[in-house]
Structures are given as structure tokens and as C-alpha cells.
Structure 1
């Protein structure tokens, strides 16, 4: 009886090996799997027939995807040893056929380009923010490694006063500074690097409070800005009543 069971188990193992060999390396009859040593190649199996494929230039194989198997590098964790990628296929617009890329130099960090099949589409980050290639998001310029926040924002943080044993340490490691061009804008300097903050349309930066305030409480705004702010505030109050 024991010999019969052992023979049966051997037959099952041999049948499994033959089935795997017949499937051309497929782990499942239908699905995808990675190619050893590559981050943008993959094996696609259809009805047990395997075919090696490449993701489009700029995309990587995403083993965790339940749909299209290729994704942006930020969404893919490729841990292949000595991984290789296909040669880039740049166009006049794009460094790769697909992907997101910053447009501009270190002093012009606020635009990025979405490349789709080699065609580039340019987008602007919200004012005061820079494109962060590490996160694929618009971010504070001081958080973007290759962005010159001072040049980009047109504002340089003043040097911090030296610490004094008599006065003690500084209360905060950030300071507030009004914009010289727009009373509705101010800068926060964090560790010597600026961030641009815009107040609402009916508000302005109050230097005494170090925050945005009703525009009527900020005397250094021009009459035109104050009038426009009053109109916007009145329109909002009217809309709330209705």
C-alpha cells in the first residue's frame, strides 16, 4: 500500500513538471510575471502560452498591478539585481515616450510635462509651488531637491540674527515677511528658505498678526485692491443670504 501511494505522488510530481514545461514558463495559464534582470520586461501568458514583452519606454513592469501591467516608476518597486532598461526613445518634446518630467531649470521649477507616446503636454503648478520629480506632485520649492527656491520665488530670506546668551535661543526657526509687491502675499522662511503664501481675494497679510486678515484691516494695500476685496466680500455675504 505504501508503495502505491509513493508511486502516485511521483506521478503527480512528474505530471506537474511536464505541465509547467508545456506552459512555456507560465506560473498560471493567464497572467504576467517578471523577467529576471529587467525592470521593464515581463512575461505574458495567454492560455498557457508565454510571450516576453516590453513596457513602453518610460514605464516599468508592475507585478502588483491587476490591470495593465506597466506603470510609472514612482508606482513600481523594482528590486531586480543588475536591472537593465531598454534604450530611451526621446522625441523633440520628451526624454522618454511616457512619464512626467520637470520643465525648466532650477530657477523655473513650477512647470511639468506629461509625455504620452512621445508628445509632451505642459502643466503649471499652483502659484508658489514647484514640481517634485521624487513624488510626482507639486510641492513647496524648498522641499524639491534641485529647485532654487529663492530664485524661483524671487525672494531671499534675510539672515537670522545670531543667537545670544543674554537673549536666549530664538523662539522659532521660521519667520514671516510681507511681499514688497503684493499686500495679499507673504513669505515664510523655514531654515533660511522661503515659501510663498497667498491670502484670499478679500484678505491681505497683517504684519502685526503675522497672518492673513480682512483686507480692511491692512492699511498698506492700495485703494484698488481694497475696493476689489470689499466687492468680493460683499458678493460672498450676499450669496450666503440667498
Structure 2
């Protein structure tokens, strides 16, 4: 039998509820969230929970989030959504807020929504299911989200040649331990360590004692942290 006909025959068998192997799973023709499960040669058609899709490549539980599945079934159908008061589907990840509030997301599990915050300065990226730089998130307004507007880039000059950098550094006006990098006109928020601050001459984080524009409170906190680290290091040396 030609190979193409063999695949067609196997797919039709799966769709008819006939097992390819004694144990395992197979797709259902025309569906992205239904599958055939075979146990000891007995076939049973099953449906993934609402919000998940059948993952033919999975070696464990056969249902996965849509981001992990390539459903190439022609005219594929999905079960009707089963929304709750908290979630649009029983399972899934969903961003909270609008384009200027991109830092929260909800994990829906069995219809219950659990809200999480991305680390400060990062936004939820629905394309990757990860917290990401806001300028990398298509529907996030990075400037509104971070509260910082990048200054316009200097126009390129034929006399001066190409600009050396397509990114610029800018200190936060509110916190000496924070600065912004503008990349192609969109900002990223960077935080220094607790005993460091942004040095505008170096365009990087530096020892807080080398940055004169920090407040007394921030300096005092930095000094406490450095003293505590020095004490801990001295204690380890005594033990050794």
C-alpha cells in the first residue's frame, strides 16, 4: 500500500474508533480537542478539558495549552466554551487589564481564576505565556505601563554617519536605583541591586556610594545591607 494511503487508512481507523496500537492516543479527524484513547486494544473517544487541545506529541497527559499544540486539522472544530464568573474557559492563561496595565495575568484551572503579578517592570506576554519586557508585548503600551516616555532619537546625519547606538539610557526621576533603557523608542525598566544605584557617567549600576543623587534613606538602607553582607562573610570565614 502506498505510504500516503497508509496514513489515510490509519487516520480513518482512528476516526472510526479503531486502535492503531494496543495502548496510546490518536487524533480525531476534524477536531483539535478530541482524541482516541486506546487501552488494551479498546478505543474510546475523549475530549480535552475546555481551553486545552489534544497534543499528539505528548508522552504523558495528552492535553496541552494551545501555545504548545499545532492543530493542522482542516476546518477543525472545538467544543463550546464553558465560561465561569472568573474565567472565559475552564483552563488557560489570560492577561488582566488593558494596554496600560499589562503586568498581571490569570491562570484558570477548572474554572477558577488565580491572579499573578509579573516582576516589576515586566508585562505578561500571551504569545509566549511568560512575563516579558513590555516593548516585546504586542498589545502593551510600554510607555503608559512604565510611566516613562522615551525622548525622540536624534535625527541621523549624513555628515555624522550612522548613530552609534539605537538605544539610550535614562535615570528615573523618582528612584536613583532605577533607570530606563529606550530601545527603538520604547522603554525598559531596570532595577539595580539594593546596595547599588544608577551611575549616569557609566550608564550602569554602581556602588551606591559612587552615586551622589540618592536620598539619605536609600543610602542608609544600602549601608545596612552592605554591613550585613560583610558580617555574614566574616562569619563564614571564621567557620572555615
Q: Report if TM-score (shorter chain) is over 0.5.
A: yes
Residue 81 (structure 1) aligns with: 74
What SS does structure 1 have at the residue aligned with 2:99? coil
Give the Cα separation in 2 of the matches to 1:199 and 1:115. Answer: 34
Q: Does 1:186 align with 2:182?
A: no
Residue 223 (structure 2) aligns with: 230
Matches within 5 A, 1:212-223: 212-223=205-216
Q: Is the 8 A contact 2:32 2:54 kept in 1?
A: yes
Matches within 5 A, 1:163-182: 163-182=156-175
Give the Cα separation in 1 of the matches to 2:180 and 2:76. Answer: 44
Which consecutive residues of structure 1, in runs of 5 or more, have no partner in the other structure?
Answer: 1-19
Q: Post-superposition shift, 1:24?
A: 4.4
Q: Does 1:142 align with 2:153?
A: no
Residue 44 (structure 1) aligns with: 37
In angstroms, what is the RMSD of aligned CA positions? 1.6
Give the structure-2-normalised TM-score. Answer: 0.90
What SS does structure 2 have at the residue aligned with 1:36? coil
Give the Cα separation in 2 of the matches to 1:84 and 1:134. Answer: 22
Give the Cα separation in 2 of the matches to 1:236 and 1:110. Answer: 32
Number of equivalences: 223
What SS does structure 1 have at the residue aligned with 2:37? strand
Q: Post-superposition shift, 1:167?
A: 2.5
Q: Give the greater-gyration-radius structure (CA).
A: 1
What SS does structure 2 have at the residue aligned with 1:147? coil
Give the structure-1-normalised TM-score. Answer: 0.89
Give the Cα separation in 2 of the matches to 1:172 and 1:199. Answer: 22
What SS does structure 1 have at the residue aligned with 2:201? coil
- Divergent runs of 4+, >3 A: none
Q: Is the 8 A contact 1:157 1:194 kept in 2?
A: yes
What SS does structure 2 have at the residue aligned with 1:226? helix
Of 185-194 and 85-94, more deviation after overlay is shown by 85-94
Q: Is the 8 A contact 1:24 1:48 kept in 2?
A: no
Residue 201 (structure 1) aligns with: 194
Task: Work out which of the residue numbers 86, 92, 100 in structure 2 matches 1:93.
Answer: 86
Give the Cα separation in 2 of the matches to 1:54 and 1:157. Answer: 49
Residue 110 (structure 2) aligns with: 117
What SS does structure 1 have at the residue aligned with 2:218? helix
Change (3 A) 1:178 1:24: closer
Residue 30 (structure 1) aligns with: 23
Q: Is the 8 A contact 2:17 2:36 kept in 1?
A: no
Which consecutive residues of structure 2, in runs of 5 or more, have no partner in the other structure?
Answer: 1-12, 236-240
